[in-house]
Structure 1
Amino acid sequence: MPAQSTHDLIVEKADALFYESGFDATSFADIAAAVGISRGNFYHHFKTKDDILDAVIARRMERTRAMLDGWQVEGESPRERILSFIHMLIANRTQIMDFGCPVGTLCSELAKLDHAAQGRATEILRLFRDWLTEQMRALGAADQAEALALHLLSWSQGVAVMATAFKDEAFIRNEVAGIEHWLASLPDLSQSP
């Protein structure tokens, strides 16, 4: 495997710092130190923090698409695929309790800053919404598919916010069980004659 480029390493480290410390609180110096390069070398790759933010958002979009594609291939049914989304809360519980949802926190911060990139960050949430809508349609919930997808997406975001506030893993597990129960209660209309 080829060595990671400095450009890609900057984006990776910036992504982690934006998630853990916030976009506004992260400086060029913080990112350069995390990468282990001088600020002069840093400017060779990115001229502004907004340029880095654009690259971070593009990276998150690409990773989200790959994750959704993976769930699509791995899940035998729409319910199984939706469960992959829900179980992200358990798989990432430690990071969520410490820093929240990486997508939700970035969108919220950029909205507070009235930052021009807020709309692009929101596209990541749209990827989840559209994918979940597709899964709900596959369950046969044609007219309600988007509403159900948004309900599930907002429920998961709420769980992430509360988990960050209370640092309570049991809360996350209980909410995931509640979401699983809710999903199981939805009728599978795709098999109807």
Structure 2
Amino acid sequence: MQANSTRESIVSSADDLFYRQGFEQTTFADIAGAVGISRGNFYYHFKTKDEILEAVIKRRLANTRNMLEQWRANSSEPEERIRSFIRILIGNRGKIMRHGCPVGTLCAELAKLEHLQRDAANEVMTLFRTWLRKQFAAMGHESDADVLAMHLLARSQGIALVANAYQDENFVDVEVGQLLDWLDTCTGVSPRLRAEQSQKEG
């Protein structure tokens, strides 16, 4: 396994383990075992777990930027881009029910630990906030774009938290439907009209 490939495997495995087990509960041995390398080879790439955490956060930032760019490229309509954000709760429903939101859980854990990387982890949340604010502004909500962005962020994080606590798949579906209805009120399209349009498209 080449050096760059090994490093990427370490970061990818650590990212997954930090999400499933938590940062504090994940050990070097856990990560080395997941990658299938010796401890000596592991330490060649990373000396501390904090170094791995920094790399994981950078990876998440890059992946989030790529996802947001993909949503932008897929639609010229800001409301449709926001729908992509809302529907990610459905796409990741299984993982969210088992482990919560990867962004929210890491931010919360690092805040509890008063970890030096907590502000860096919050940058992923801020990426979503900034992106959503731009979409709402493009919809004509310039004056309250940030308020709407924060409301949607808070609602989505709350859905992930409750879904994880109660393991209720139907809850996620119902809440996503309500968020889509709420978005329609922001666009001036009634939920009933959207349902009629969806039936015609189907």
TM over 0.5: yes
**CA RMSD between the two structures:** 1.3
Q: Partner of 1:186 in structure 2?
A: 186
Q: Partner of 1:63 in structure 2?
A: 63
Q: Partner of 1:112 in structure 2?
A: 112
Q: Structure 1: which amino acid aligns with 2:176?
A: V
Q: In the aligned structure 2, how far is the partner of 1:36 from the partner of 1:187?
A: 51
Alignment of 1:30-69 (within 5 A): 30-69=30-69
Deviation at 1:75, TM superposition (A): 1.7
Deviation at 1:4, TM superposition (A): 6.8
Instruction: Give ranges in structure 1 of 5+ residues lacking alignment.
Output: 189-193
- Identify if the C-alpha distance between structure 1 residues 3 and 49 changes in structure 2 by more than 3 Å, giving closer, same or farther: closer
Cα deviations across residues 147-188 of structure 1 (Å, max 9, x unaligned)? 000000110000000000010110000000000000001146
- Structure 1 length normalisation: TM-score? 0.95
Q: Partner of 1:22 in structure 2?
A: 22
Q: In the aligned structure 1, how far is the partner of 2:90 from the partner of 2:164?
A: 13
Alignment size in residue pairs: 187
Partner SS, residue 24 of structure 1: coil
Partner SS, residue 162 of structure 2: helix
Instruction: Give ranges in structure 2 of 5+ residues lacking alignment.
Output: 189-202
Q: Percent identity?
A: 55
Cα deviations across residues 11-50 of structure 1 (Å, max 9, x unaligned)? 0000000000000000000000000001111000000000
Q: Structure 2: which amino acid aligns with 1:74?
A: N
- Structure 2 length normalisation: TM-score? 0.91
Q: In the aligned structure 2, how far is the partner of 1:91 from the partner of 1:3?
A: 33
